[in-house]
Structure 1
Amino acid sequence: MKLAKTYTFLKKDLSLIEKTLEETVYAEQPVLHDASTQLLKAGGKRLRPVFALLASKFGDYQLDKIKNVASSLELIHMASLVHDDVIDDSDLRRGKPTVKAKWDDQVAMLTGDYIFAKALQQFTEIDDPRAHQILSKTMIELTVGEIEQIKDKYNLDQNLKIYLRRIKRKTALLISSSCQLGAIVARTDRTTEKALFKYGYYMGMSYQIIDDILDFTASEKELGKPAGSDLVQGNITLPVLYALENEEIRSDLKKAFSKPNEVTQADLQPIITKIAESSAIEKARKVSDRYLQKAYHSLHLLPENQAKEALANIANYIGNRKI
């Protein structure tokens, strides 16, 4: 089953959000407009808007309000991707040239800043101080996560705790906030809001771990970039952490990382293959599965409706996705 089929009843609402995104990123400055539009048209799963919409279905669902939350969250995600591509020196995303590849680092950074600003402008439509506090805290944590990732690049002396804290900040909190903000805008009760927040957090953790696994197990065509790109950029993900328990892999990687600025895809390809074929992949998948089970458990506290079924189906899809 394709992901979109798990929430077909949101199709019309998601079309409106897509239109809102297009209108929001419009800029009179040609380069800024072209760069922002290119990023938007590159596609994506639009998971954060989906989670916000589904969470709102547990309360007073008003599309004119929730669309502002949903579009703001997607814009924040998009902006972070533009900045990520500069930090990681990535030329491809989803098989298409990144903003920094088509223009340059400066244009990319300013485009990211512009999209962040537009996200905040969009969110001013929400008249709830608590919602603004949650979004602000999420953005702060997202930034800290990015800094931590830069600091830990090419560092083989990491542990599980460091990795989990990093992906919490970089990925999970924006997804959990999507669920929580959707609940707040719909004025659900606090028990429902808390359950949705937990679901989003556990889903975000599982999602990122699966992403890190796919970086080794999926093909270049499926990824839209060479397999093992994260490792080439010096990012130590969960499969790598487990693979480092193998002394041969640790020794090979330490040698390759001795000159981090010179490491290439070709240099690391034998190590990437070893990791993909090692037990590290299954170990990482088990960690993802544990978070997934916690996400399912969080749903037990929610009333039965179409949105709850969709959230369960999304969890099932993400836990078994191949790309």
Structure 2
Amino acid sequence: MTKGMKQRIIEQAAPDLEKIEIALEHHLNPNVELVRQIASHLLFSGGKRLRPLLMVHSARLCGYNNDFEIEFSIIFEYLHAATLLHDDVVDEADIRRGKKAAHTKWSAPKVVLTGDFLMALSLDIAAKTREPDIISVIAKITRDMSQGEIDQLSKKGKLNLSEEEYRKIIERKTAVLIQGTCQSGAILAKAPKEKETALSQYGFHLGMAFQMADDLLDYTASAKELGKNPGADLREGKLTLPLIHSLSNASQKDKEWMQDAIAATLFNPDQFKKLKEKLYTYKGIEYTKDRARDHVKKAKACLNDFDDCQSKQLLCLIADYSIERKV
């Protein structure tokens, strides 16, 4: 089912995806060749381009179709790539999208500065929209995502992290980018405020669902499916919703064992396997799936007042795909 859903998105969006790829290549023109190499290592390593698609079809859903939506949509792929480059350095991740993380091939300072370049490039393209509101949205995205990462770092290893604290972290880390992507499409189309708000809320709920699904995959998918080693969140001391819910419902004995497993200095595959079993026993997996599905339901409801069209169908399909995907 998931593979079919992904294939349907690719087939429906094929012409746009081809143009997005061309635009990403065309605008990546730094003065220093090393910057291109580092940026390309991540940018062209198999990303799904969902963020550009979301902006393109949010704009079209509001009646925009001037061809410029493709060029402006890559703002959000550059921003996304910049945050991934920075995150992998901060998290000391080894693998990204099935390849060695950039900072394992080049020095961390070079990778961080390349991420900075991509952020600046996204702002440069945003300025060409001549829409101050879009520039404001991007400024908010970069501000909130930075704070989200700092908040997560400050709470690293916190064994009593609450669900509310978790939600605030993922709102800033993930949802704000997808929310801003969809909102910017509406702004570009000069849509009425109520449509801009609806698409902004669609993006918020979609982003929350995406991150919850990602947090699930860290415990339910294989290394081959993930393109990185499973259990990365646990190794990095990050408590996500499957763990938070399970800890709050576990017996005292199991809770203490789980806390010891989380706090362990060395990653133990057998211990990780046992921990995953606890997440099923105490319904952390099931609860997270339910919360993600609820966000998808709310996201699709935000599109109710829009006329039916190909763009609306695609946005609904992406919402369903966000939680049904395996990778």
TM over 0.5: yes
Offset at 1:306?
1.2
Give the Cα–Cα distance (whole angstroms) in 2 for the partners of residues 122 and 228 of structure 1.
37
Listed one character per residue, the Cα deviations across residues 222-249 of structure 1 (whole Å, up to 9, x for unaligned) are 0111211111111111011012132344
Alpha-carbon spacing, 1:82–1:290, altered in 2? closer, same or farther (3 Å): same
Mapped partners of 1:141, 1:79: distance in 2? 14
* Among 160, 163, 181, the residue aligned to 2:163: 160
Shift of 1:10: 3.2
Counterpart contact for 2:81–2:118, Cα < 8 Å: yes
1:47–1:26 distance in 2 versus 1, CA, 3 Å:
same
Aligned to 1:67: 70
Distance 1:275 1:215 in 2: 15
Following superposition of structure 1 onto structure 2, how do residues 1-323 of structure 1 map, counting pairs within 5 Å?
1-6=4-9, 8-245=11-248, 246=250, 247-258=252-263, 262-266=265-269, 268-278=271-281, 279-323=283-327
Quote the offset at 1:119 in angstroms: 1.1
Cα offset, 1:43, TM superposition: 1.7
- Does structure 1 conserve the Cα–Cα contact (< 8 Å) formed by 2:78 and 2:121? yes
TM-score with structure 2 setting the length: 0.92
- Please, what is the CA RMSD of the aligned residues? 1.9
Deviation track 1:267-293 (CA, whole Å, cap 9, x = no partner) reads: 852454334543210011111111111
Q: 2: CA distance between counterparts of 1:203 and 1:270?
A: 30
Contact 1:68 1:126 in 2 (8 A): no
Verify the 8 A CA contact 1:216 1:272 in the aligned structure 2: no
Q: Distance in 2 between matches of 1:53 and 1:242?
A: 36
Q: CA deviation at 1:295?
A: 1.1
Deviations 1:71-128 (A, max 9, x none): 0111001100000101110010111111111112112111111111111112111111
Aligned partner of 1:204: which letter? G
Distance 1:275 1:101, change over 3 A: farther
SS of 1:244's partner is helix
Please say if residues 52 and 74 of structure 2, whose CA atoms lie closer than 8 Å, have aligned partners that are also in contact: yes
SS for the counterpart of 2:152 is helix
Q: Within 1, Cα distance between the matches of 2:67 and 2:137?
A: 20
CA distance in 2, matches of 1:267, 1:234: 18
Q: Describe the shift of the 1:230–1:198 C-alpha distance in structure 2 as closer, same or farther (beyond 3 A).
A: same
Deviation sequence 1:156-210 (CA, Å, 0-9, x none): 1111110111111111111111111011101222222211111111111111101
**Equivalent pairs, count:** 321
| Range 33-42 or range 242-251, more displaced | 242-251
Runs (5+) with no aligned partner, structure 1: none
User: Which whole-Å CA distance do the structure 1 matches of 2:237 and 2:229 have between them?
Assistant: 14
| Residue type of the alignment partner of 1:250 | K
Contact 1:202 1:295 in 2 (8 A): yes
Identity %: 32
Query: Residue type matched to 2:222 in 1?
Result: S
8 Å contact kept, 2:212–2:292:
yes
Compute the displacement of 1:32 (Å): 1.5
CA pair 101-73 structure 1, distance change in 2 beyond 3 A: same
